[in-house]
Chains A and B, each alone.
Chain A
Amino acid sequence: MLRQVLLTALIAAAALMPRGAHAEEKLVLKSVTADLPFGDRMFPDGPGSEAVNNNCLACHSAGMVLTQPALSKEQWHAEVEKMRTAYKAPIDPKDVNAIVDYLVGLGKPRQ
């Protein structure tokens, strides 16, 4: 309450002051509430898409994965392992091969 009164007084005082040099201006920060879009696009259907949707979308949306250049199987495997080990993604180990194969397929021309 006191803070509110003080703040109101400050704003009023600031309004009365002549607009002088930049450094004299009083900046008043305001609280922010801003919801972010979630990004609920699914990976395109194909062999392994279920494994990818189930294991990947909890941590990140699909967009950045779908804009990767054509990467080799080894490169994609390293990416999935980085998610598992460095970023602790709860990926079911038995899904890893299906995920990697799906991602390798992204770089190939689709019908």
Chain B
Amino acid sequence: MQRALSVQSLASRRRFLGTAGAAGAASLTLSPLSALADAMIKLPLPGGPDERSITTAFPQKGALILQRTRPPLLETPLEVFDQSVFTPNDKFYVRWHWSLIPSTVDVSSFRLAVHGHVNQNLSLSLDELMALPRVELVAINQCSGNSRGYFQPRVSGAQWSHGAMGNARWTGVRLKDVLDRAGVKPGAVQVRFNGMDEPIVPDAPDFMKSLAIDHARDGEVMLAYAMNGEQLPLLNGFPLRLIVPGWFSTYWVKMLNDIEVLDQPDTNFWTKTAYTIPDTPHANVQPGQTGFKSVPISRMVPRSFITNIKPGDALQAGAPTLARGIAFGGDTGVARVDFSSDGGNTWQQAQLGKDEGKYSFRQWQFRFTAPGRGSQVLMVRCTSSSGETQPNTPYWNPSGFMRNVIEQTPVVVS
């Protein structure tokens, strides 16, 4: 049994929590039934738990892997990435921090506020925004913790497989154009972004992220009102989402309705404390290591995946086989992709598909004949345009961020 909860009832629950505290929470009565699931999937996470439900219970969304119902964490199944470099909107992964997500967005009353260290405060309607010069960009949105479930030793957090990412053509306006309209005053240091979602506990930190002023005005960071030619699904941030090409998704604030130009560095929890990584090469530390300095996570790093052959698949010995998948350079393009059918002993260059821009997934393919018989490991490796190559052994950090080791696809050749 599933229960639809409107924002109004969430708001009253929130007030209830705020006044009654723990005693209030204790008196909530919840039904023990849950039937969101209509199928199961196994994710090969070391040590488990490896079973997840496939859910179709979310609005504007097709079948996705259910990691959490509330606030929603929905993962894209890997086979979706085999079909196109563009991730369909109804299959695009979902990740929210707080459960008070407006269930209704009215396009005529929506306003984007721009304020703070500016010459003129703005309150822009969607029509006004859409009248600004229109830009398009293909870019990958990837959760900082994508593939966290493969960290060893395992770490706490959403136990994602590789599907907390997606690639879309974003349509919208340049953040720079919006900021110019407000007129940024001299001395501005950062720009802070806030969406319409809110924590259910009133004094919990509202989800906000900041970018340095120069980054915000680089002409690439944009406010998107469409993805893949259509308005954004509610759960991907309708009606407006910040697009920060090449950077992890934590900065891509959803349901964006407030932009504040700051003349002091942002000290809010989500910018300063959460989403930080060790300030070490590759954000790598030893498990248990302490005393290292931490810095906010930022740019993405190269990754690649085989999308048409799954771990455990059977291949025919001596038969020509096509391996295919996607790669990306991180905050720059893909220079080359190499493929190995013998566990990384030998590598050969794969053929690259159409270039949709440096922030996009790039399809690759390679024809090979499986060597010998028995167990074998297929691997794929991306080298970015800036010369950065995926590592052979995984880096580790306690938050499970930025995984980009060369992934392994074990197969059986017979």
A interface, CB within 8 angstroms of B? 3, 22-23, 25, 27, 29-42, 53-55, 57-61, 63-64, 66-71, 75, 79, 86-92, 95
Residue B31 at the chain A interface, CB threshold 8 Å: yes
B interface, CB within 8 angstroms of A? 1-6, 13, 17, 21-22, 24-26, 28, 30-34, 36, 45, 47-49, 52, 57-60, 66-73, 99, 101, 103-108, 126, 130, 134, 136, 149, 154-156, 158-159, 171, 199-201, 203-205, 225-226, 229-231, 234-235, 238-239, 269, 273-274
Residues of B within 8 A of A60 (CB): 68, 70-71, 99
Pair count A-B, CB < 8 A? 170
- Cβ contact within 8 Å between A69 and B159: yes
Give the CA-CA distance A41 to B115 in the complex, in Å: 42
- Cβ contact within 8 Å between A29 and B231: yes
- Cβ contact within 8 Å between B22 and A91: yes
Give the CA-CA distance A33 to B238 in the complex, in Å: 11
Which residue of chain A has the shortest Cβ distance to B98 in the bound complex?
Answer: A59
- Cβ contact within 8 Å between A31 and B105: yes
- Cβ contact within 8 Å between A27 and B59: no
Residues of B within 8 A of A58 (CB): 13, 17, 25, 28, 200
- Cβ contact within 8 Å between B204 and A71: no
Residues of B within 8 A of A22 (CB): 229
Which residue of chain A has the shortest Cβ distance to B22 in the bound complex?
Answer: A92
| Cβ-neighbour of B104 out of A33, A39, A42, A68 (below 8 A) | A33
| Cβ-neighbour of A37 out of B2, B30, B67, B158 (below 8 A) | B2
- Cβ contact within 8 Å between A29 and B225: yes
- Indicate the member of A23, A60, A95 with the most B CB atoms within 10 Å: A60
What's the least CB distance linking B356 to chain A, in Å? 14
- Cβ contact within 8 Å between A35 and B103: yes
Closest 8 CB pairs of A and B: A39-B69, A34-B59, A35-B4, A41-B34, A69-B154, A64-B68, A88-B204, A92-B22
Which residue of chain B has the shortest Cβ distance to A65 in the bound complex?
Answer: B68
Give the CA-CA distance A79 to B104 in the complex, in Å: 32
| Cβ-neighbour of B199 out of A69, A87, A91, A92 (below 8 A) | A87
Residues of A within 8 A of B126 (CB): 29
What's the least CB distance linking A30 to chain B, in Å? 7
A54-B26, A58-B28 known; A40 and B68 CB under 8 Å?
Answer: no
A37-B36, A40-B3 known; A30 and B231 CB under 8 Å?
Answer: yes
- Cβ contact within 8 Å between A38 and B239: no
- Cβ contact within 8 Å between B32 and A36: no
Residues of A within 8 A of B154 (CB): 69-71
A27-B225, A90-B201 known; A40 and B99 CB under 8 Å?
Answer: no
Give the CA-CA distance A35 to B70 in the complex, in Å: 12
What's the least CB distance linking A94 to chain B, in Å? 9
- Cβ contact within 8 Å between B156 and A32: no
- Cβ contact within 8 Å between A40 and B30: yes
Give the CA-CA distance A68 to B22 in the complex, in Å: 24
- Cβ contact within 8 Å between A36 and B205: no
Residues of A within 8 A of B3 (CB): 37-38, 40
What's the least CB distance linking B291 to chain A, in Å? 17
- Cβ contact within 8 Å between B156 and A39: no
| Cβ-neighbour of B34 out of A3, A39, A92 (below 8 A) | A39
- Cβ contact within 8 Å between B99 and A70: no
- Cβ contact within 8 Å between B107 and A31: yes
A31-B107, A64-B67 known; A36 and B36 CB under 8 Å?
Answer: no
